[in-house]
Amino acid sequence: MTQRTLVLLKPDAVRRGLVGNVLARFEAKGLSIVALEHRHIDAAMADAHYAEHVERDFYPPLRTFVTSGPLVALVLEGDEAIEVVRALNGATDGRKAAPGTIRGDLSLSNRENLVHGSDSPESAEREIALWFPNLG
Ligand code: RTP
Ligand code: MG
């Protein structure tokens, strides 16, 4: 089933010059970019995006990280896009993520792990509406 999912190329991806590398992986897989924006978010936007995590111990440094510089937000579309993107991203902790995945190949951190991908159809709908309210 064709799905849309919200992806973030987090500030570490922009700082490290890995935007092209990561986008190329998604495109090569066959996913289509249907929206894309370079953006530096504030704490309120970080809190809205990570609403499920705001009370967690790991959230304050995560907020600092995601607001530390510009990121690239995009919507990808394709067959089973939500699950496919999370498989390409790899496990959350870059030190444990499998080689061949974005995090497994390019990240050595549990926080600065380059990418975000929506984790369910409900999350994708909420996150796409939050980041791209004008997307039809
Ligand atoms: P994401 O939401 O970014 O796609 O990543 P995920 O589903 O694999 O991981 P999630 O559990 O949703 O955590 C969101 C982001 O928080 C940071 N994190 N830090 N213990 C920690 O220090 C810790 N745990 C998670 C990561 O940046 C993770 O992607
Ligand atoms: Mg998550």
Please report, rounded to a whole number, the percentage of residues in the chain having pLDDT higher than 70: 100
Give the residue, by CA position, lying nearest to ligand 1 atom 25: 111
Q: Hey, what domains does the chain have and what are their CATH numbers?
A: 2-39+67-121 (3.30.70.141)
| CA 111 – ligand 1 centroid, Å | 6
Q: Give the C-alpha distances (Å, rounded to integers) separating 61 from 38, 51, 55.
A: 22, 15, 12
What is the structure's pLDDT at 48? 98
Residue 53 appears among annotated catalytic residues: no
Phi and psi of 43, rounded to 5°?
-60, -35
Q: What pLDDT band is residue 134 in, cutting at 50, 70 and 90?
A: very high
What is the structure's pLDDT at 22? 98
What is the structure's pLDDT at 32? 98
- What average pLDDT does range 53-66 have in this prediction? 97
Give the residue, by CA position, lying nearest to ligand 1 atom 4: 116
- Amino acid, res. 58: F
- What average pLDDT does range 81-98 have in this prediction? 98
- What average pLDDT does range 81-88 have in this prediction? 98
| CA 125 – ligand 1 centroid, Å | 19
pTM above 0.95, yes or no: yes
Of 134, 117, 44, 38, which is closest to residue 81 (Cα–Cα)? Answer: 117
85: helix, coil or strand? helix
- What average pLDDT does range 98-120 have in this prediction? 98
Q: Which residues have CB under 8 Å from 112's CB, separation 6+?
A: 10, 12, 65, 94
pLDDT of residue 105 exceeding 90, the answer is yes
